[in-house]
Every structure is written in structure tokens, then in C-alpha cells.
Amino acid sequence: MKMKYLFGALAISALVFASCGKKTGGCYKGEKAVVKDFSDSDTCGIVFQLEDGTKLEPTNLAEFKGIDYTNGSLVWVSYKPASGASTCGIGEIVELRCVSERDY
């Protein structure tokens, strides 16, 4: 009888854990962002703009291949502040932890 409850609890835990990342595209503590492509300038590249208007300049974008970085694309991002000088000068310097595409 105890095994039955244990398996039930494990199944519920697995479902809860699996659904947690779906709201953020699988990015833990992900935030909604829009891709801004400043590649036309001499010093800028891809920048992410959060819903509150904050712009993020990633230092490790090359680690996240297979993402649509077209200007205006919608993504989830999680990040941590990074040290270093900004080459673009329009946002915060960050190290990306996760990037995933979002639908809306």
C-alpha cells in the first residue's frame, strides 16, 4: 500500500517538475525578450530587450546555436550579470544561461 502512494507522489512530482519550465520555455527564471539586431553598426550585434525596456548585451551568444536571432524574434532568456566593457553601449553586459524561442 505504501508503494502505491510512493509511486503516486513520484508521478505527481514528475508532472509538476516537467511543467515548471514550460511557462519560460525551459529557461529557469526566464524572462520574455525580443531580439534586436544591431549588426549593421560597427560595434554592436544581437541585443535582447526585456519587457521593461532593459537591453541585454550577451557575452556568450555563440554558445546558443539553433535559435532564430532575426530582428523582432521572441525569446525567453535567463542570464547573470557579467563583467567587462560594453562594445555597443546600449545595455547591460550579461552572460546567458539559457535562450529559447517563444511563440507569444
- Give the model's pLDDT for residue 19: 40
- Give the model's pLDDT for residue 61: 95
Q: Tell me the mean pLDDT per 10 residues along the chain, length 104.
A: 51 43 77 96 93 96 95 97 89 96 92
From start to end of 2-91, where are the E strands?
Answer: 31-37, 46-50, 55-58, 74-81
As given in the structure block, the three cell numbers for residue 60 are 556568450
- Give the model's pLDDT for residue 1: 55
| 83 SS3 class | coil
Q: With 0-12 CB in 10 A as exposed, 13-18 as middle and 19+ as buried, what is 79? A: buried
Neighbours of 49 (CB within 10 A): 16
- Give the model's pLDDT for residue 17: 43
Q: With 0-12 CB in 10 A as exposed, 13-18 as middle and 19+ as buried, what is 82? A: middle
Four-way CATH pick for 23-101: 1.10.3720.10, 2.40.50.500, 2.30.30.40, 3.40.50.300: 2.40.50.500
